[in-house]
Amino acid sequence: MSMTISEKILAKAAGKKEVEAGEIIMANIDVAMMHDLTGPLAVEAFKKIGSEKVWDPSKVVVLFDHQVPADSIEAAENHIIMRKFVKEQGIEDFYDVREGICHQVLPEKGHVVPGDVIVGTDSHTCTHGALGAFATGIGSTDMAMVLATGKLWFKVPETIRFEIEGQPKNHVCAKDIILYIIGKMGIDGATYKACEFTGSTVKNMTISERLVLCNMAIEMGGKTGIIEADEKTIEYVKRRSKKPYNIMKTDPDAPSLESMQVNVESLEPQIACPHNVDNVKPISEVEGTEIDQIFIGSCTNGRIEDLRYAAKILKGGEISERVRMLVIPASREVYTKALDEGLIKIFIDAGAIVCNPCCGPCLGGHIGLLGPGEVSLSTSNRNFKGRQGSPESEVYLSSAAVAAASAIKGKITHPNNI
């Protein structure tokens, strides 16, 4: 039977020769991830069902990234709960406040390889599909079951394959491409589907760019984002992991497969406007919109390539006096590279505030929150009302290139106009 990559991975995880879309299966989990914000709820549920030991401590990863350093007594208490759980359970893959955002740290530290099933108590766990894994976010009670048994039920998703072709224009990035697709699909256009990205444009992308595509699959309702592993994937994985891996590819005649053609040659930078991620417009329609805060970071665009791009635009320039700019590297590894390459100095000299690796203002639960009436341009993945602070504020989403150019002008600006 012909199957998609997602179906093949789930069939392997369920110990079956084949599965089909809509089928309910019980799958073995390869990696279970929790962070400081949702982890305590999973631990509480784990204990409520009477479990004492996790099924396999070597397959559990715990990270602190959402509220680090602790910004409240409640956050500090959550950290204490998770540190105690990690010690009790003998979980060695624990990354405390210093390491960075879970969706950057997992691939960096070699926890993600092709063919794995990865679950995390965070909706953007779909990011890891960029390395050819089936990765998805789950709730805390589902995580309790995973911790106790190492298994979880799934309904096998249908697959929508985005065949992306064309050479993007100057300053058009992976972020622009995924925003464009979400604008066309709508926030529920791919509900519970595996969003598979393929085509010559994707093949030419770096691993960092592919992570951007898969990261935002959830913003159109996707169950996961996924990209077939190729030579770039293998090179990345071999440098970072000793785990065995399984490369699987979609059969073009798989019954559940739906395709959408996307040509990006004429695409200009895209902006998601308040208050929905699918409210996407080309930059030419919103250029000149005044902003109060720029945020470059998050699990979407806080990688070294984003910081290099932003620094190239900002070098020798100065951030507008009407704007405050936050730069937050996605991980300690990214931060260190940025230090070594002199990028941090460029940001500081331009007038930016550089913070420790964390989620920052992305979820509205930490630093850099917006006040009533303020406007933010952010490289993160969500712009719902109140997402980054006051419900009376507004958030626009863009690439790091557009964010850096806009910081100089104090208003949404095409990088070509710097």
Q: Burial-class residue 371 by CB neighbours within 10 Å (0-12, 13-18, 19+).
A: exposed
The chain-wide mean pLDDT, for the chain, equals 94
Whether 77 shows a pLDDT value over 90: the answer reads yes
The reported pLDDT for the residue numbered 256 is 85
Q: Are 312 and 342 in contact (CB under 8 A)?
A: no
| DSSP secondary structure, 39-103, as one string | HHHHHHHHHHTT--S-S-GGGEEEE--SS-S--SHHHHHHHHHHHHHHHHHT---EE-TTSB-HH
What does the pLDDT look like over 268-312, one tens digit per residue? 999 999 999 999 999 999 999 999 999 999 999 999 999 999 999
CA distance 91 to 121: 17
The reported pLDDT for the residue numbered 257 is 86
Left (φ > 0), alpha (ψ -120 to 50) or beta: where does 22 sit? left
What does the pLDDT look like over 236-260, one tens digit per residue? 999 999 999 999 999 988 888 889 9
Compute φ and ψ for 154, nearest 5 degrees. Answer: -140, 150
CA distance 281 to 295: 19
Contacts of 240 (CB under 8 A, 6+ apart): 107, 108, 109, 110
CA distance 290 to 323: 9
User: Which residue from 133, 156, 164 is spatially nearest to 229, judged by alpha carbons?
Assistant: 133
Q: Quick check: helix, strand or coil at residue 151?
A: strand
CA distance 128 to 227: 9
Q: Are 176 and 269 in contact (CB under 8 A)?
A: yes
Whether 369 shows a pLDDT value over 90: the answer reads no
Report the first-to-last Cα separation within the chain, whole angstroms.
Answer: 54
Per-residue pLDDT averaged across 204-232, rounded? 96
What does the pLDDT look like over 140-178, one tens digit per residue? 999 999 999 999 999 999 999 999 999 999 999 999 999
Q: Are 273 and 286 in contact (CB under 8 A)?
A: yes
> 């290099």: which residue's tokens?
308
The reported pLDDT for the residue numbered 388 is 79
The reported pLDDT for the residue numbered 161 is 95
User: Which residue from 135, 343, 307 is spatially nearest to 223, judged by alpha carbons?
Assistant: 135
Whether 415 shows a pLDDT value over 90: the answer reads yes
> Within 13 A of 298's CA, how many CA atoms are on the CB side?
29
Whether 265 shows a pLDDT value over 90: the answer reads yes
The reported pLDDT for the residue numbered 41 is 94
